[in-house]
Amino acid sequence: MLSSALLTLTICSIVMLLALTLAKKTITDREKNSPFECGFDPKGSARLPFSLRFFLIAVIFLIFDVEITLLLPLASIIHMTNIKTWMFIGMFFLLILILGLYHEWNQGALEWAT
């Protein structure tokens, strides 16, 4: 077991070192490193400004979207569990979600135009 793991690690290391040495670019070309716009020099910066507010709203949406997917299996296990336990777990999870939403709202993270 240990010898096969050592052999695998050795082979992987050799392949990675070979790839690193064979793929190394020795001559750096300024034109190859510059952004390409139909053969002409770029007019503006390749980096566009990004709204941090939009990113924050997207992350909050993603978090709540994942939490909703965690809530969906509750509907399928209702017949396998005690109804009181099921209600307690569901309400506790929803309470955490509502408290998180209230906190985000209270902090002003959901205000789009400020």
Banded pLDDT at 95 (limits 50, 70, 90): very high
Helix, strand and coil content of the chain, in percent to the nearest 5, comes to: 65, 0, 35
Question: What letter would DSSP give residue 96?
Answer: H
Which of 93, 51, 62, 57 is closest to 75 using CA atoms? 93
What would the mean pLDDT of 56-73 be, rounded to a whole number? 84
What would the mean pLDDT of 17-46 be, rounded to a whole number? 66
pLDDT of residue 41: 58
Top pLDDT among 71 and 38 is at 71
Integer CA distances (angstroms), 4 to 8, 18, 42, 84, 86, in order: 6, 21, 52, 52, 48
Question: Does residue 46 lie within any of the structural domains?
Answer: no
Q: What is the pLDDT of residues 50-63, one digit of tens each?
A: 777 788 888 888 88
Question: Does residue 6 lie within any of the structural domains?
Answer: no
**pTM for the model:** 0.48
Question: Does residue 20 lie within any of the structural domains?
Answer: no
Query: Which residue is associated with the tokens 């209270």?
Result: 106
Banded pLDDT at 13 (limits 50, 70, 90): very high
What would the mean pLDDT of 38-47 be, rounded to a whole number? 61
pLDDT of residue 36: 61
Q: Which domain holds residue 66?
A: 52-107
Which of 93, 51, 99, 85 is closest to 69 using CA atoms? 93
Question: Does residue 2 lie within any of the structural domains?
Answer: no
Question: Does residue 14 lie within any of the structural domains?
Answer: no
Is residue 86 a contact partner of residue 77, using CB atoms and an 8 Å limit?
yes
Q: How many domains does the chain have?
A: 1
